Chains A and B, each alone.
Chain A
Amino acid sequence: MTTQITSARPAAGPLKGARRRPPASSATTVGRPGFAWALPAAVFFTLFAIVPLIMVAVLSFMSWDGLSSPEFVGTDNWSRLMDDPVMLNSIWLTLLLTVLGVVLQTPLSILLGVWAAGHQRNRAVLSVIYFIPLLLSATAVSVLWRALLDPNFGIPAEAAWLFGDGNLFGEQATAIGVLAFVSTWQFTPFHTLIYQGAARAVPQVLYQAAEIDGAGRYRQFFHITLPQLRNSMITSMILMIVGGLTTFETVLILTQGGPGTDTTISAYYMYDKAFKSFDYGTGSAIALVLVVAATVISLIVVRVSGYDKMRSSMEGVS
Chain B
Amino acid sequence: MRRRPNYVAGVGSLVWLFLVGLPLYVLLAATLRTRQDYAENGPVSIPDSFTLDNYTGAFDSGFGQYFFNTLVVTGCVIGIVLLLVPPLAYAIVRSRGRTTSAIFRLFLLGLAIPAQAVIVPMFYLISEAGLYDNLLGVILPTAAFCLPMSALILSGAMRDISPELYEAMAMDGASPRRMFLQLVLPLSRGGLSTIVVFSALQAWNGFLFPLVLTQSDSSKVVTLGLYNFQTEHGIDIPGLLGAVVLSMVPILLVYLFARRALVQGLMGVGGK
**Would A140 and B247 be within 8 Å (CB), given that A31-B170, A311-B156 are in contact?**
yes
- A170 to B: closest C-beta gap in Å: 16
- Do residues B84 and A40 form an inter-chain contact, with CB atoms below 8 A? yes
- A282 to B: closest C-beta gap in Å: 10
Task: Give the CA-CA distance A298 to B113 in the complex, in Å.
Answer: 9
Q: Residues of A contacting B84 with CB < 8 Å?
A: 40-41, 44
Task: Give the CA-CA distance A239 to B223 in the complex, in Å.
Answer: 23
- A46 interface residue (CB < 8 Å to B): yes
- A153 interface residue (CB < 8 Å to B): yes
The count of chain B contact residues (Cβ–Cβ below 8 Å) is 112
- Do residues B43 and A294 form an inter-chain contact, with CB atoms below 8 A? no
Q: Residues of B contacting A71 with CB < 8 Å?
A: none
Q: Residues of B contacting A178 with CB < 8 Å?
A: none
- B142 to A: closest C-beta gap in Å: 9
Apart from A12-B172, A38-B99, A38-B103, 15 more pairs, CB < 8 Å = A13-B173, A21-B176, A34-B91, A37-B90, A42-B103, A48-B141, A119-B1, A135-B248, A143-B240, A146-B234, A148-B23, A153-B43, A275-B212, A283-B120, A288-B117
User: Of A49, A157, A194, A267, which one neighbours B116 at CB under 8 angstroms?
Assistant: A267
- A87 to B: closest C-beta gap in Å: 15
Q: Residues of B contacting A112 with CB < 8 Å?
A: 12-13, 16
Contact-residue size bin, chain A (C-beta under 8 Å from the other chain): 35 or more
23 examples of A-B residue contacts, CB within 8 angstroms: A16-B173, A29-B97, A32-B96, A38-B91, A38-B92, A38-B100, A39-B103, A41-B87, A44-B144, A50-B110, A130-B17, A136-B247, A140-B226, A148-B23, A153-B38, A153-B39, A158-B43, A188-B16, A193-B263, A246-B116, A284-B120, A311-B156, A314-B267
Counted as pairs of residues, one from A and one from B, with CB atoms less than 8 Å apart, the total is: 334
- A149 to B: closest C-beta gap in Å: 10
Q: Which residues of B contact A (CB under 8 A)?
A: 1, 3, 5-6, 9-10, 12-13, 16-17, 19-21, 23-24, 26-27, 30, 38-39, 42-44, 80, 83-85, 87-88, 90-92, 94-97, 99-100, 103-104, 106-125, 140-141, 143-145, 147-148, 151-152, 156, 163, 166-167, 169-177, 179-180, 204-205, 207-208, 212, 223, 226-227, 229-230, 234-235, 237, 240-241, 244, 247-248, 251-252, 255, 260, 263-264, 266-267, 270-271
Main secondary structure of the interface of A (DSSP, over half): helix
Q: Residues of B contacting A27 with CB < 8 Å?
A: none
Against B, the Cβ 8 Å flags (1 = close, 0 = not) of A205-240 are 001000000000100000000000000000000010
Task: Give the CA-CA distance A136 to B92 in the complex, in Å.
Answer: 33
User: Quick one: closest A residue to B170, CB to CB?
Assistant: A31
User: Of B24, B179, B230, B247, which one neighbours A137 at CB under 8 angstroms?
Assistant: B247
Against B, the Cβ 8 Å flags (1 = close, 0 = not) of A273-312 are 0110000100110011011001101110110000100110
